């Protein structure tokens, strides 16, 4: 037995880099205006990692959690906005 673990299984990634939030806003506005969606900005793994480690991960460590599984913040995914290309399938590309 490895000992007791504290699992938080429901966490939302609420500290996305500002460039992502700006892109999503501009993407939705382009849809409303009938224009071309903007290209996705270059956001590196280090920027994403830093946004998690300085915020959610720091709090989880302070609270004694060992593991959490993050999901996107549903309200800003805005499933109800736009059409299919702007909606769920028009999201930012995943980083690898």
Alpha helices, DSSP H, located in 3-91: 18-33, 45-53, 56-63, 74-77
What is residue 60's predicted lDDT score, i.e. its pLDDT?
82
Give me 96's structure tokens: 């690898």
Helix axes 45-53, 56-63, angle to 10 degrees: 40
Q: List pLDDT tens digits, range 53-67.
A: 888 888 888 988 777
The rounded distance, in Å, linking the Cα atoms of 70 and 44 is 18
Convert the pLDDT of each residue in 37-51 to its tens digit: 899 999 999 998 898
Supply the pLDDT for residue 78: 65
Higher pLDDT, 4 or 85: 4
d(CA 86, CA 96): 22
Confidence tier at 96 by pLDDT (50, 70, 90)? very low
| pLDDT bucket at 79, cuts 50 / 70 / 90 | low
- Residue whose pair of structure tokens reads 């399938």 in the numeric block: 89
Mean of the per-residue pLDDT values for the chain?
Answer: 77
When pLDDT is averaged across residues 77-85 and rounded to a whole number, the result is: 65
């Amino acid at each position: 037995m490895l000992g007791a673990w504290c699992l938080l299984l429901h966490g939302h990634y609420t500290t996305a880099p500002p460039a992502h939030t700006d892109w999503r806003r501009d993407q939705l506005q382009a849809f409303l205006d009938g224009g071309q969606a903007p290209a996705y900005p270059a956001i590196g793994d280090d920027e994403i990692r830093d946004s998690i480690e300085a915020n959610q991960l720091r709090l989880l460590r302070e609270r004694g959690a060992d593991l959490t599984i993050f999901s996107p913040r549903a309200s800003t995914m805005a499933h109800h906005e736009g059409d299919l290309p702007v909606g769920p399938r028009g999201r930012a590309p995943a980083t690898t």
